[in-house]
Structure formats: structure tokens, C-alpha cells
Amino acid sequence: MQNIMSAASEWLLPLIVGSILLFGFVKRVPIYNTFVDGAKGGFATSIKLIPHLVAMVVAVAVFDASGAMSILVKLLTPLLQWLHIPPEVAPMALLRPISGQGSLAFMVNIFGNSKQGPDSWLGMLASTMQASSDTTLYILTVYFGSVGIRKFRYAMGVGLLSDFVSVLASVFAVSLLSGMIHV
């Protein structure tokens, strides 16, 4: 089963690309020119994102570099413990909606810890948290920024609340399945 799953994750991307190309060819679509035509839009879309990403990345970098992030984590630790969220993953949970790379760095940190490692309970929890949610603030910024939406209404509240639920659900899922998959 393990082999099938890891093969699936490696094969998935090439298989998707291959079947799109083959499907287009069979349907007599001029695949090369159609690809180039569509890909052109990638440049304009990315360039439009620059001001939005510069604004958000700088703000998060300032918040983190000042030490405010680690103070926030310390303040929230008792609450997180009460919710059965280990303090070791607290900074990761807080950073997850703000920065995908930031929370990934915390996950790698847990993997690299000789006492823990990726197969430990904590390692599984960090993996699941990273995989089951997304960088909410980034998505909000990018998606709304690309069409010029300035008033987000309730979208940020829904996004952040469901991130919180995802963290709790990760703790639940790892607790539930850790017995079955022998971590």
C-alpha cells in the first residue's frame, strides 16, 4: 500500500500533463500554439501581483523580525495547550495562514529535531497541518488583488476560522489514525 501511495504521488503530475496533451491531440487541438497562447497570460498575471506581495511580505517580515511573533506564540501557549495543540507546533499554526514558506520552515525544524523526526506524533501533526490548510492571507491578497477587490467583507473571517478548525482537525486526524498506521 505504501509503495502504491508513493508511486501515485510521483506519477500524478507527469500523468496529468501527459493526458492533457494527448487529449488535446486526439481532439485535433493545435496543442503547441494553444499552449503558448495560454501561457502568455502568466506573465501579466504575475506582474500584477508584485505590489500586493511586496506589501504583505514586508509587513510579515517586520512582525517576525521584531520578535513580536515569538511573544504572540508565548502568550497563546496556555490556550493552545488547553485545546490539545502541542506548543511545539504553535508558531507553525499561527504562521500557516500568513506564510506558507514560514510554516514549512517550522515543519522542517520539527523533522530535523533528533528527538522527533517526520514519523513521530509531532512530525505527523506538523505534516498534516502543513498539508491540510493553505496560506489564507496570501490567497486572499492574490485572488482579490488580481481583480482589484478592496473590501473583503467576511472572507477573511471565514478563512481564518477554518484555518483554526483545520489545526484542530489535524490533531484529531493524527490521534485517530496514528494507531492504524503505526507511527
Partner 1 sequence: MIDFIWLVLFLVGIVTAMFTGNMSKVADAIIHGSERGVTLSIGLISVIALWLGLMNIAERAGAIAWLSKLLRPVARFLFPSVPADHPAMGAILANMSANLLGIGNAATPLGLKAMHELQTLNPDKDTASDAMCTLLAINTASITLIPTTVIAIRMQYHSQHPTAVVSTTLVASAIGTAFAIVLDRVFRRFSRRRRAA
Q: For residue 147, give the 3-state DSSP assignment.
A: helix
Return the number of the residue (2 or 82) whose C-beta is nearest partner 1. 2
How many residues in the shown chain lie near partner 1 by CB under 8 A?
105
In 8-28, which positions are buried (b, 16+ CB within 10 angstroms) versus exposed (e)? eeeeeeeeeeeeeeeeeeeee
Give me the least distance between CB of 87 and partner 1, in Å please.
Answer: 19
114-143: which residues touch partner 1 (CB under 8 A)? 117-119, 123-124, 127-134, 136, 139-143
DSSP string, 67-95: THHHHHHHHHHHHHHHTT--GGGHHHHHH
34-63: which residues touch partner 1 (CB under 8 A)? 34-43, 45-47, 49-50, 53-63
For residues 123 and 170, give the distance between their C-alpha atoms in angstroms, rounded to a whole number.
12
- Identify the residue among 20, 74, 78, 84 touching partner 1 (CB under 8 A): 20
Amino acid at 143: Y
**If binding is defined by CB under 8 A, does position 24 make contact with partner 1?**
yes
* C-alpha cell of residue 67: 520578535
Binding segment (CB under 8 A) for partner 1, from list 73-81, 82-90, 172-180: 172-180
**If binding is defined by CB under 8 A, does position 153 make contact with partner 1?**
yes
